[in-house]
Amino acid sequence: MNDIVKVAGLRVAARNDAGVDVPIVHGADFTLKKGEVLALIGESGSGKTTIALALMGYARAGCRIVGGSVRIGDVEVLEQSDASLAKLRGRTVAYIAQSAAAAFNPAKTIMEQVIESALIHGVMSRRAAQAKAVELFRALALPDPDNIGARYPHQVSGGQLQRLMAAMALITDPALVILDEPTTALDVTTQIEVLRAFKKVVRDLDTTAVYVSHDLAVVAQMADRIVVLRNGEIQENSRTEQILVEPEHPYTCSLLAAMKPTVSQGAPGRREDQAKEALLLDVRGLDICYGSKRVVQDIDLQVRRGATVGIIGESGSGKTTVARAIAGLVAPSAGQVLLDGQPLSGTLAGRTREQFRRVQYVFQNADTALNPQHTIEEILARPLRFYHGMRSAQRRRRVAELMELVQLPASLATRRPSELSGGQKQRINLARALAAEPDLILCDEVTSALDTVVGAAILELMAELRRELNVSYLFISHDIRTVRSICDEVVVMYAGAKVEQGNRSTFQAPPYHPYTHLLIDSVPEMHQGWLEETRAGRGTLPQIAAPSESMPLCPFLARCPVRIEGKCNKVAPPRVWLEKGSEILCHHTDSDLRHFDELVPAMVVSG
Amino acid sequence: MTPNVHRQSANLSTSGPRAGAVVGVAHDEKPQGGVRRRAKRPVSGALGVLIVGFWLLMALAGPWLAPHGANALVGFEVFGPISLEYPLGTDFLGRDILSRLLHGAPYTIGVALAATVLACLFGVVLGLVAAASGGWLDAVISRTQDALIAIPNKIFALIMVAAFGSSVPLLLVMAAFAYMPGSYRIARAVAVNVMTMDFVQVARARGEALPYIMFVEVLPNMLRPVLTDFGLRFVYVVLLLSAMSFLGLGVQPPEADWGSLVRENIQGLGDGAPAVLAPAIAIATLTVGVNLIIDSFGARAKREMES
């Protein structure tokens, strides 16, 4: 028998306010062989993290493991005392948490923290542990493996920190590694590097691992088997290829379906009309500086009435800052924002109430965007009173209408935000913006905090509202799939600059800007082997001489796989119109980019 | 799986924009908590409410309930023991201690309460103004309050009394003034955190004026720390006023608050006379009671954080 992990009838309960135990995991059974990677997949609340933690004999505050057995090797984990569990954790079972930034102590060097568990468990000497750590750094493809350990956590990037955390977990050669959403907080382009490093290490060291994720496409790259969870129950437990190709359980099918956004918002027939629609928002040459740092440079952006314009980019690309400037929360240092041809003041103080009403901002995180001390009714009634001066009876009627508009029962009006689910909160967030009867809604990552299924429902709702109310959206997202499927026009931002702009059809096929290429290629696809096939983040960058400091150059220069010596590092790139109708910021010509694959130099096709 | 909805303060989430997001939400159609959480106060908190409630009642009704006048010389014995006629004995002049205690309650509790309300009111409003407006106004208010906080309370009180002579209004204003900077510091610190929350940004982007943001959006979210601070500050004010009276600089004879009751009967301490013990115990129970309530606030906040 080579089952290294055997879980049988695992049950976990949470105590609710009334002091009654509510089961949240109902009898989970699964096994893992040596060297196997098992994925636990499900929406939030499905119990995947709870099960993963139970593998270490741990239940979060308020939860309790009430029954079943977890065997790792010959050890029955659930019967261990606290002292022997402490010996087990970090030694036999290691855990890699979602947010490495929160898991590292900022006051200690990386090496100190990576070898800590080896020293605590006394498995090797400090010298041996340090040598092993460097070896792991190398295996995880970290830059400068010999010296990275001397740095502090804030001196490395998020993706590197996540890999360093893997080194921390692997230092004791644990029998089982638990990876809890290790790439969820990362940008797609970073995620791909981390996934590659994880996969290589897991294969090289023959590690047995449990991979917890909500993202089926990511899991498809990593796992041998997938366990699909819903509401604490196992729906399906099969080999990865079977789940992807012929899922048995209807719930698995619905998960697969939700991964492919099918919202067809602007019906194709409408696009010609839109060209005629009046220009609603016109951003001209927008520059924003924080102190001396220029975070947004020279952004031009137009939104027509009833259109959806997407802004896409990695974190730190300045996309949210642009939206905040349009809303007046950040003062631009140069450039203009025009609404219906009327310039909007850069500061809040200079805007009229009518201008405020016409541009509404929907924040990413509905948890923090709704005041926890106000009821839903108060939240929705405020803009009605503020902008429209409605009286109380009229307000109450309108609140009910708004709740209906976002498909929520009117009975929720008396509740507070903490009593709603994530999706419901996001609907209220949207309803509050609609209460103003705006012309333009700035949507900042409105679905990124939600489960795929819930997020898809919100997008569907937004599409419906657009049809009914003819509002325009400025849709900010890091998810190129969503943006491509719902936006009429897409703007790609990198390091504060607009590198590509085009309508939806131009984003269906190359040529793209090299950065757009990278973004598109980095989105995990729902088939095994994608990680090995994709070009993104692979190969070596072309050697160029150090760029001249004084000149403004292409913002993507440092990461561009097709940069040209003598051109890209010398001259600022021009704005080029491609034949298909999009505009890019690049030295390459239309025909060059059409054959992008051949441009990318000698790809190293290996693991 | 417990949704981490309480991870609200912006400074707690240190990682990327999506960190914690995916695990932080529940199903679309399943509300997180069906019924509003019913606050369960522990026994100690209930005891605190009982004690403080009793004293508040005495502060209002004490003078009418008192069997004798505050200055009526009723007993022939000085430092008399506990008897049926004088339940808490008699003082150094043969006055009924129970009556004097009840007559003193409005001074001790009323003045302290009024002073604390004033201190917290000004502290919180200034803190909100400073946090909401920021910039030079914040700097001016903060530095002024810092200057005040640098003066030790008791010294400040002594100087004020030395300069203007002791009277109830002076004591009230003095105590309020002495404890305002502390209240301001706490209120501003909490308000600055709340100001960074998204819902405040939403209100700003809606075009709301500063007073609305301060009092409707921010204030309700800082009530708990502010109330806790209020209770704590009340205890300090009671102690400061009692100390002033003990030094003979507080409420002037023939009127007496609890602090002066302790002082004027101090000779009885050697005999263990109830005349000196009773007011001391009254001060102690009041402060302990208020502290019990405060602790139960803190415990409740902690329980909610954990769940």
Q: What is the pLDDT of residues A520-553, one digit of tens each?
A: 888 888 888 888 887 776 666 777 777 766 667 8
Q: Are strands A93-96 and A176-180 parallel, antiparallel or unpaired?
A: parallel
Distance (Å, whole) CA B201 – CA B221: 15
In a domain, A605, yes or no: no
Torsion sign (Cα): A188, A189, A194, A195: positive
Q: What residues pair up with A491 in beta bridges, in sequence order?
A: A311, A501
Measured in degrees and rounded to the nearest 5, phi and psi for residue A601 equal -70, 150
**Span A415-437, pLDDT tens digits:** 999 888 888 899 999 999 999 99
pLDDT higher than threshold 50 for residue A408: yes
Mean pLDDT of A578-582: 83
Q: Do A327 and A465 belong to one domain?
A: yes
pLDDT higher than threshold 80 for residue A276: no
Q: Do A298 and A246 belong to one domain?
A: no
Q: Do A409 and A532 belong to one domain?
A: no
Please give, one letter per residue, the 3-state secondary structure of A92-131: CEEEECCCHHHHCCCCCCHHHHHCHHHHHCCCCCHHHHHH
Residues making up chain B, counted from first to last: 307
**Span B193-222, pLDDT tens digits:** 999 889 999 999 999 999 999 999 999 998
| Residue listed under structure tokens 């909007």 | A344
Do B19 and A419 make contact, defined as CB atoms within 8 angstroms?
Answer: no
Q: Lowest-confidence range among A494-498, A563-567, B180-184, B233-237? A: A563-567
Q: What residues pair up with A71 in beta bridges, in sequence order?
A: A6, A76
Distance (Å, whole) CA B262 – CA B246: 7
DSSP-assigned states of every residue in A512-569: --HHHHHHHHHS--SSTTHHHH--TT-SPPPP-PPPPSSS---TTGGG-TT--TTTTT
Q: Place B7 in a pLDDT band, splitting at 50, 70 and 90.
A: very low
Task: Find chain B residues with C-beta within 8 A of A102's C-beta.
Answer: 14-15, 19
Cα distances from A239 to residues A29, A196, A201, A228, in angstroms, run: 15, 21, 21, 11
pLDDT higher than threshold 60 for residue A117: yes
> What is the structure's pLDDT at A270?
46
Quote the domain boundaries for residue A460. 268-507
Both tokens of B270, joined, read: 């050697």
Q: Do A91 and A223 belong to one domain?
A: yes
Quote the minimal CA–CA distance from A185 to chain B in Å.
Answer: 5
Sheet-wide strand order for A3-15 = A21-33, A3-15, A63-72, A75-76
**Span A368-378, pLDDT tens digits:** 899 999 999 99
Mean pLDDT of B23-37: 39
| Helical (H) or strand (E) element with A66 | strand A63-72
Do A363 and B201 make contact, defined as CB atoms within 8 angstroms?
Answer: yes
> What is the structure's pLDDT at A287?
92
pLDDT higher than threshold 80 for residue A382: yes
The SS3 assignment for B45 reads helix
Measured in degrees and rounded to the nearest 5, phi and psi for residue A440 equal -135, 130
Q: Lowest-confidence range among A67-81, A341-355, A529-543? A: A529-543
Number of domains within chain A: 3
Q: Do A383 and A519 belong to one domain?
A: no
pLDDT higher than threshold 90 for residue A110: yes
Mean pLDDT of A62-70: 87
DSSP-assigned states of every residue in A333-345: SEEEEEETTEEPP
In a domain, A604, yes or no: no
User: Which among A63, A348, A357 has CB closest to B204?
Assistant: A348
Q: What residues pair up with A434 in beta bridges, in sequence order?
A: none
Distance (Å, whole) CA A40 – CA B72: 82
In a domain, A142, yes or no: yes
| Residue listed under structure tokens 């419901």 | A424
Cα distances from B53 to residues A121, B49, B98, in angstroms, run: 56, 6, 18
Prediction pTM value:
0.79
User: Which among A44, A351, A373 has CB closest to B22?
Assistant: A44
Do B199 and A415 make contact, defined as CB atoms within 8 angstroms?
Answer: no
pLDDT higher than threshold 80 for residue A4: yes
Both tokens of A382, joined, read: 């405020």
Q: Do A119 and A203 belong to one domain?
A: yes
Q: Are A428 and A374 in contact (CB under 8 A)?
A: no
Q: Do A296 and A220 belong to one domain?
A: no
Measured in degrees and rounded to the nearest 5, phi and psi for residue B217 equal -90, -45
Measured in degrees and rounded to the nearest 5, phi and psi for residue A31 equal -135, 160
In a domain, A21, yes or no: yes
Omega of the bond leading into B67 within 30 degrees of 0 (cis):
no
| Residue listed under structure tokens 């060209």 | A275
- For residue B49, how many other CB atoms are within 10 A of its CB? 15
DSSP state, residue B108: I
Q: Place B299 in a pLDDT band, splitting at 50, 70 and 90.
A: low
pLDDT higher than threshold 70 for residue B40: no
Distance (Å, whole) CA B287 – CA B234: 8
Task: Find chain A residues with C-beta within 8 A of B201's C-beta.
Answer: 329, 361, 363, 369
Do A449 and B25 make contact, defined as CB atoms within 8 angstroms?
Answer: yes
Q: Which residue of A has its CA nearest to B16?
A: A185
Residue B252: exposure state from Cβ atoms within 10 A (0-12, 13-18, ≥19): middle
pLDDT higher than threshold 70 for residue B156: yes
In a domain, A502, yes or no: yes
Distance (Å, whole) CA A115 – CA A126: 8
Quote the minimal CA–CA distance from B5 to chain A in Å.
Answer: 7
> What is the structure's pLDDT at B5?
38
Both tokens of B237, joined, read: 């004010």
Instruction: Check which CATH number belongs to the domain holding A155 and give it.
Output: 3.40.50.300
Do A214 and B22 make contact, defined as CB atoms within 8 angstroms?
Answer: yes
The SS3 assignment for B96 reads strand
| Helical (H) or strand (E) element with B279 | helix B274-306
Do A99 and B10 make contact, defined as CB atoms within 8 angstroms?
Answer: no
Q: Are A115 and A129 in contact (CB under 8 A)?
A: yes
Mean pLDDT of chain B: 78
Amino acid at B119: A
Do B28 and A422 make contact, defined as CB atoms within 8 angstroms?
Answer: yes
Q: Are strands A472-477 and A440-444 parallel, antiparallel or unpaired?
A: parallel
Mean pLDDT of chain A: 86
Quote the minimal CA–CA distance from A604 to chain B in Å.
Answer: 30
Task: Find chain A residues with C-beta within 8 A of B24's C-beta.
Answer: 44, 367, 422, 449
Task: For chains A and B, count residue pairs whose Cβ atoms are closer than 8 Å.
Answer: 178
Query: Domain boundary at A209, A238, A259, which?
Result: A259
Distance (Å, whole) CA A140 – CA A133: 10
**Span A194-233, pLDDT tens digits:** 898 888 888 888 889 999 988 888 889 989 999 999 888 8
Q: Place B23 in a pLDDT band, splitting at 50, 70 and 90.
A: very low
Task: Find chain B residues with C-beta within 8 A of A59's C-beta.
Answer: none
**Span B85-127, pLDDT tens digits:** 777 777 777 788 888 888 888 888 888 889 999 999 999 999 9
Q: Place A155 in a pLDDT band, splitting at 50, 70 and 90.
A: confident
> What is the structure's pLDDT at A429?
92
Task: Find chain A residues with C-beta within 8 A of B31's C-beta.
Answer: 415, 419-421, 424
| Helical (H) or strand (E) element with B236 | helix B223-246
> What is the structure's pLDDT at A217?
87
Q: Which residue of A has its CA nearest to B217?
A: A371
Distance (Å, whole) CA A477 – CA A133: 37
In a domain, A315, yes or no: yes
> What is the structure's pLDDT at A271?
46
pLDDT higher than threshold 70 for residue A266: no
Distance (Å, whole) CA B179 – CA B176: 5
Task: Find chain B residues with C-beta within 8 A of A449's C-beta.
Answer: 18, 21-22, 24-25
Task: Find chain A residues with C-beta within 8 A of B224's C-beta.
Answer: none
Distance (Å, whole) CA A222 – CA A220: 6
- The angle formed by the CA atoms of residues B77, B83 and B86, to the nearest 5 degrees, is 70
Angle between helix A126-139 and A158-170 (nearest 10): 130
Please give, one letter per residue, the 3-state secondary structure of A438-501: CCEEEEECCCCCCCHHHHHHHHHHHHHHHHHHCCEEEEEECCHHHHHHHCCEEEEEECCEEEEE
> What is the structure's pLDDT at A578?
85
DSSP state, residue A41: E
pLDDT higher than threshold 60 for residue A73: yes
For A86, residues 6+ apart whose C-beta sits below 8 A from its C-beta are: none
Q: Are strands A334-339 and A342-343 parallel, antiparallel or unpaired?
A: antiparallel
Q: Lowest-confidence range among A63-77, A138-152, A192-206, B81-95? A: B81-95
Selected residue with higher pLDDT from A304 and B298? A304
Q: Do A300 and A195 belong to one domain?
A: no
Q: Are B259 and B245 in contact (CB under 8 A)?
A: yes
Q: Place A606 in a pLDDT band, splitting at 50, 70 and 90.
A: very low
**Span A459-514, pLDDT tens digits:** 888 888 888 888 999 999 988 888 888 899 999 999 889 999 998 888 888 788 88
Query: Domain boundary at A507, A540, A556, which?
Result: A507
Q: Are A463 and A471 in contact (CB under 8 A)?
A: no
Q: Do A385 and A435 belong to one domain?
A: yes
> What is the structure's pLDDT at B304?
55
Name the maximum alpha-carbon separation found in chain B.
80
> What is the structure's pLDDT at B21?
34
Upper half-sphere CA count for residue A56 (Cβ side, 13 Å): 26
Cα distances from A27 to residues A8, A80, A546, A554, in angstroms, run: 7, 20, 60, 56
**Superfamily of domain covering B62-306:** MetI-like (1.10.3720.10)
Radius of gyration of chain A (CA): 26
The proportion of chain A whose per-residue pLDDT surpasses 90, expressed as a percent, equals 29
> What is the structure's pLDDT at B4?
40
The SS3 assignment for A4 reads strand
Q: Do A222 and A89 belong to one domain?
A: yes
In a domain, A402, yes or no: yes
Residues making up chain A, counted from first to last: 607
Distance (Å, whole) CA A582 – CA A14: 53
Question: Which residue in B300, B4, B44, B36 sits closest to A17, CA to CA?
Answer: B36
User: Which among B15, B29, B202 has CB closest to A363?
Assistant: B202
Task: Find chain B residues with C-beta within 8 A of A386's C-beta.
Answer: 206-208
Quote the minimal CA–CA distance from B135 to chain A in Å.
Answer: 15
Do B206 and A418 make contact, defined as CB atoms within 8 angstroms?
Answer: no
Please give, one letter per residue, the 3-state secondary structure of A370-424: CCCCCCHHHHHHHHHHHHHCCCHHHHHHHHHHHHHHCCCCHHHHHCCHHHCCHHH
Task: Find chain A residues with C-beta within 8 A of B23's C-beta.
Answer: 44, 49, 98, 181
**Span A167-182, pLDDT tens digits:** 999 898 898 999 998 8
- For residue B284, how many other CB atoms are within 10 A of its CB? 11
| Helical (H) or strand (E) element with A296 | strand A293-304
Q: Do A52 and A103 belong to one domain?
A: yes
pLDDT higher than threshold 80 for residue B68: no
Query: Domain boundary at A507, A536, A559, which?
Result: A507
Q: Do A377 and A440 belong to one domain?
A: yes
Task: Please name the residue ranges forming H helices in B150-197.
Answer: 153-164, 168-195
Please give, one letter per residue, the 3-state secondary structure of A481-493: HHHHHHCCEEEEE
In a domain, A354, yes or no: yes
Distance (Å, whole) CA A49 – CA A67: 17
